[in-house]
A and B are shown apart, each in its own frame.
Chain A
Amino acid sequence: AQSVTQPDIHITVSEGASLELRCNYSYGATPYLFWYVQSPGQGLQLLLKYFSGDTLVQGIKGFEAEFKRSQSSFNLRKPSVHWSDAAEYFCAVVDSSYKLIFGSGTRLLVRP
């Protein structure tokens, strides 16, 4: 069965510092991968997605993610974090029935 692992429950970075959130997936074929962001008490917003092609994908709000098949990873990055980036981030993979399977999430805290 498909699964997604986000090994970091919490991450704290200083404003202006770079960010990398880790995501590992388990899927037999080429996966469809997503990163979503959730602000407190809100729904989820799609940051970016990978279906095929270029393994480095650009998203909204200055985020990017790199698909690495050899490592079964799809890590999210941002070169300079802003205080408004504080939120919870979810990695997800689509299974063979087109259902989204989410990781447990990583909560990002930003120090002033």
Chain B
Amino acid sequence: SQTIHQWPATLVQPVGSPLSLECTVEGTSNPNLYWYRQAAGRGLQLLFYSVGIGQISSEVPQNLSASRPQDRQFILSSKKLLLSDSGFYLCAWSEQGSTEAFFGQGTRLTVV
């Protein structure tokens, strides 16, 4: 069966420090991969999605970037964190051509 792993679960980082959040999927090939952010009291905002290795689409301009170095690995990064980057980050995957997405457990990022 397919599983999705996201880590770390929580992270506290100072302003101006770099960020790297990792997400991996097991049990499937060539999935669509997504990064969402959920700010306090707000809904989920799609940040990036990828339909294949090295293919990244950005939904909103921001201080973050994403990379997909391997088929089932999706990384969210920042060179210098801002206070406004705080939030709950969720990775998700779906089968190609499928509309159903499966979510990781999320990473709570607090920028101080």
- Chain A residues close to B by CB (< 8 Å): 6, 32, 34, 36, 41-46, 49, 51, 90, 94, 98-105
- Of the candidate stretches B14-22, B41-49, B66-74, the one touching chain A is B41-49
Minimum CB–CB distance for B90 against chain A, Å: 6
* Chain A residues in 8 Å Cβ range of B101: 46, 100
Bound CA–CA A49/B44 (angstroms):
18
* Chain A residues in 8 Å Cβ range of B46: 99-102
Query: Which residue in chain B gives the minimum CB-CB distance to A33?
Result: B99
B32 pairs with A98, CB closer than 8 A: yes
Given A44-B90, A46-B100, decide whether A102 and B44 contact each other with a Cβ distance below 8 A: yes
Given A98-B99, A99-B34, A104-B43, decide whether A42 and B105 contact each other with a Cβ distance below 8 A: yes
* Chain A residues in 8 Å Cβ range of B7: none
* Chain A residues in 8 Å Cβ range of B34: 99-100
Bound CA–CA A42/B43 (angstroms):
14
* Chain A residues in 8 Å Cβ range of B49: 99
**From DSSP, what is the main secondary structure of chain B's interface residues?**
strand
A43 pairs with B104, CB closer than 8 A: yes
Interface size on B, residues (CB 8 A): 25
B97 pairs with A43, CB closer than 8 A: no
Encoded as 1 (CB less than 8 Å from any A CB) or 0, chain B from 83 to 112 comes to 000001010101001111111111010000
* Chain A residues in 8 Å Cβ range of B94: 98
Query: Which residue in chain B gives the minimum CB-CB distance to A9?
Result: B41
* Chain B residues in 8 Å Cβ range of A44: 44, 90, 92, 103
Bound CA–CA A85/B91 (angstroms):
23
A41 pairs with B108, CB closer than 8 A: yes
The residues in B between 27 and 47 inclusive whose CB is less than 8 angstroms from any CB of A are 32, 34, 36, 42-44, 46
B44 pairs with A32, CB closer than 8 A: no
Bound CA–CA A45/B104 (angstroms):
9
Shortest Cβ-Cβ A-B pairs, 3 listed: A104-B43, A43-B103, A102-B44
